[in-house]
Amino acid sequence: MITIGIVDNDRFALPMLDMPLTDIPGPEICRRVRAASADIVVLGITAYSLDHYRQLAIDAGAQGLIAKSVTPKKELAEAMRNVLVRPFPGFPTTEQAHGSIVSASARRSRTLSKREREVLGLYADNYSTAEIAERLGIADSTVSVVVRHAKVKLDVATRSKAVRVFRALY
Bridge partners of residue 18, in order along the sequence = 45
- Reported pTM: 0.58
83 Cβ neighbours under 8 A, 6+ residues apart: 14, 41, 43, 63, 64
Confidence of residue 109 (pLDDT cuts 50, 70, 90): low
Handedness of CA 151, 157, 160, 165 (dihedral sign): negative
Q: Which residue spans within 25-123 are E strands per DSSP?
A: 43-46, 64-67
Confidence of residue 105 (pLDDT cuts 50, 70, 90): low
* pLDDT at position 13: 63
Residue bearing the bigger pLDDT, 38 or 131: 131
Domains of the chain in start order, with CATH, are 7-104 (3.40.50.2300), 112-169 (1.10.10.10)
Bridge partners of residue 12, in order along the sequence = 7
* pLDDT at position 141: 95
- Is residue 7 scored above 50 in pLDDT? no
